[in-house]
Amino acid sequence: MSSKRTTDFGFEQVPVEEKVRRVGAVFDSVASKYDIMNDMMSFGIHRLWKRFTSEISGVRRGQRVLDLAGGTGDLSERFATTVGATGLVVLSDINAAMLQQGRERLVNRGVVGNIEYVQANAERLPFADNQFDCISIGFGLRNVTDKPAALGSMLRCLRPGAPLLVLEFSKPVVPGLSPLYDLYSFRVLPLMGKLIANDAESYRYLAESIRMHPDQETLRTMMEDVGFERCEYFNLSGGIVAVHRGYKP
Region of 117 please: left (phi>0), alpha (psi -120 to 50) or beta.
Answer: beta
Nearest-CA neighbor of 249 among 155, 185, 168? 155
Q: Is the pLDDT of residue 196 over 90?
A: no
Confidence of residue 22 (pLDDT cuts 50, 70, 90): confident
Residue 20 or residue 204, greater confidence: 204
Confidence of residue 82 (pLDDT cuts 50, 70, 90): very high
CB 230 within 8 A of CB 247: yes
Confidence of residue 146 (pLDDT cuts 50, 70, 90): very high
Backbone angles phi, psi at 105, to 5 degrees: -65, -45
Q: Is the pLDDT of residue 2 over 80?
A: no
Please give the full DSSP string across 89-133, using - where no structure is assigned. Answer: EEEEES-HHHHHHHHHHHHHTT--SSEEEEE--GGG--S-TT-BS
**pLDDT at res. 31:** 67
Quote the percentage of the chain above a pLDDT of 70. 95
Q: Is the pLDDT of residue 234 over 80?
A: yes
Nearest-CA neighbor of 98 among 38, 32, 42, 37? 32
**pLDDT at res. 30:** 67
Q: Is the pLDDT of residue 28 over 80?
A: no
Quote the percentage of the chain above a pLDDT of 90. 69
Nearest-CA neighbor of 118 among 166, 78, 64, 167? 64
Backbone angles phi, psi at 166, to 5 degrees: -115, 105
46-70: pLDDT as tens digits: 999 999 999 999 999 999 999 999 9
**pLDDT at res. 195:** 83
Burial class, 4, CB count within 10 angstroms (exposed 0-12 / middle 13-18 / buried 19+): exposed
CB 157 within 8 A of CB 66: yes
Confidence of residue 33 (pLDDT cuts 50, 70, 90): low
Q: Is the pLDDT of residue 25 over 50?
A: yes
The 8-class DSSP code of residue 158 comes to: B
Residue 116 or residue 37, greater confidence: 116
Q: Is the pLDDT of residue 29 over 80?
A: no
**pLDDT at res. 15:** 86
**pLDDT at res. 11:** 84
Task: Confirm whether pTM is higher than 0.85.
Answer: yes
Q: Where are the domains of the chain?
A: 45-171+220-247
- Mean pLDDT for all residues in the chain: 91
The 8-class DSSP code of residue 161 comes to: T
Q: What does each C-alpha distance from 212 to 10, 127, 145, 165, 215 come to in angstroms?
A: 7, 29, 12, 20, 9
Q: Is the pLDDT of residue 3 over 50?
A: no
Class for the domain spanning 45-171+220-247: alpha beta
Q: Once rounded to an integer, what is the mean pLDDT over residues 165-188?
A: 93
Residues in the chain: 249
107-122: pLDDT as tens digits: 999 999 999 999 999 9
Q: Is the pLDDT of residue 131 over 70?
A: yes
